[in-house]
Amino acid sequence: MKSSRSEFVALRGLNMHVRHWGSPDAPKLFMVHGWMDVAASFQFVVDRLAQDWHVIAPDWRGFGLTESPAVESYWFPDYVADLDAILHHYSPEQPVNLLGHSMGGNIAMIYAGVRPERITKLINLEGFGMPMTQAKQAPGRYRKWLDELREVPTLRPYASAAEVAGRLQKTNPRLSDARATFLAQHWAKENAQGQWELLADPAHKNSSPLLYHVDEVLQCWQNIAAPVLWVEANDTDIWRMIGSKEEARVEIDRRMKFIPNMQTKVVMDAGHMLHHDQPEELAVMLEAFLKTH
């Protein structure tokens, strides 16, 4: 297992945790994780990379070891601004190679369309975007948000690290014991009472009052200048966020048409957490993509 090192950087008023692998002099490759995940989640892919890369992977605000802001709910644009600050800190002049998984893929795609000059190549792992919304949903969404703010959100603790690992394997049955044990140590920490608490701000459970405007997102995608590698898992279930499997496929295919320069790949025998399920195959895919001119 390749060793990593932690760094804390003050950005946008938060003490942000960033995990590094590889030599600082090696080519940079930024990786951003998904919702309810942490930067250490990329360990298995990093272990399979053949080339020496300086992999830079932050914990998003309110996840992992990054500080949680004093908020009652989270706004998606903040993640885009955090990414901008991180890239400016580590590569202020040079465009970068960027990989994002799930929510991280959504953030990376939007960012690459907002600042196209900042991205050399973009790898999107299952970052399909959120379900389409309509203006008529706004009153109900605001009401739900206000109702949730009356209660303090919590995340259940676990009796042991082994129980955390078991929870991870329940979500992803493909996850081996060894990988689940490793992830549990980074996904949660032991508190003073001997219980294991997830490293995530419970406020992430609260709804956002802001609707997800797909048309605006696709305008950003249409503005991406970098080559994009779009990677899906053959056994993903993330389509449930968008609708039935058939409806989701039609909508995802429609969205993909807005990306100017894209190639697609499918990872077999993998679910949504494809970087856990098939890290060897994924590492080969992304290095082949990054090495093309």
Whether the pLDDT of residue 234 is over 90: the answer is yes
| Helical segments of 209-271, H only | 214-222, 245-256
- Whether 52 maps to a domain, the answer reads yes
- Whether 166 maps to a domain, the answer reads no
Determine the 3-state secondary structure of 266 from DSSP.
strand
Digit-coded pLDDT (tens) for 68-97: 999 998 988 999 999 999 999 999 999 999
Q: Which residues form the domain of 106?
A: 4-135+213-291
Nearest to 64 by CA among 166, 197, 170, 217: 197
Digit-coded pLDDT (tens) for 150-191: 999 999 999 999 999 999 999 999 999 999 999 999 999 999
Number of domains in the chain: 1
Determine the 3-state secondary structure of 43 from DSSP.
helix
- Whether 23 maps to a domain, the answer reads yes
Q: What is the mean pLDDT of the chain?
A: 96
Average pLDDT on 52-60 reads 98
Predicted confidence band at 246 (pLDDT cuts at 50, 70, 90)? confident
Lowest mean pLDDT among 27-36, 62-71, 224-233, 245-254: 245-254
- Whether 174 maps to a domain, the answer reads no
Look at residue 41 in the predicted model and tell me its pLDDT: 98
Whether the pLDDT of residue 59 is over 70: the answer is yes
Average pLDDT on 91-104 reads 97
Predicted confidence band at 247 (pLDDT cuts at 50, 70, 90)? confident
Look at residue 245 in the predicted model and tell me its pLDDT: 85
Determine the 3-state secondary structure of 166 from DSSP.
helix
Digit-coded pLDDT (tens) for 184-222: 999 999 999 999 999 999 999 999 999 999 999 999 999
For residue 130 the two structure tokens come to: 């959120």
Whether the pLDDT of residue 242 is over 90: the answer is no
- Whether 15 maps to a domain, the answer reads yes
Task: Tell me phi and psi for residue 168, to 5 degrees.
Answer: -65, -40
For 196, 198, 203, the CA distances from 190, given in Å and listed in that order, are: 4, 9, 20
- Whether 188 maps to a domain, the answer reads no
pTM for this prediction? 0.96
Look at residue 293 in the predicted model and tell me its pLDDT: 67
Residue 148: CB atoms within 10 A of its CB come to 16
Determine the 3-state secondary structure of 82 from DSSP.
helix
Inter-residue contact 4 to 21 (CB < 8 Å): yes
Q: What is the CA radius of gyration of the chain?
A: 19
Average pLDDT on 140-158 reads 95
Residue for token digits 């008529």? 136
- Whether 182 maps to a domain, the answer reads no
204 Rama sector, left if φ>0, alpha if ψ -120 to 50, beta otherwise: alpha
- Whether 195 maps to a domain, the answer reads no
CA distance 215 to 73: 24
* CATH number for 279: 3.40.50.1820
Average pLDDT on 118-123 reads 98
Residue for token digits 């590569």? 91
CA distance 278 to 287: 14
What percent of the chain is modeled with pLDDT above 90? 92
Look at residue 243 in the predicted model and tell me its pLDDT: 74
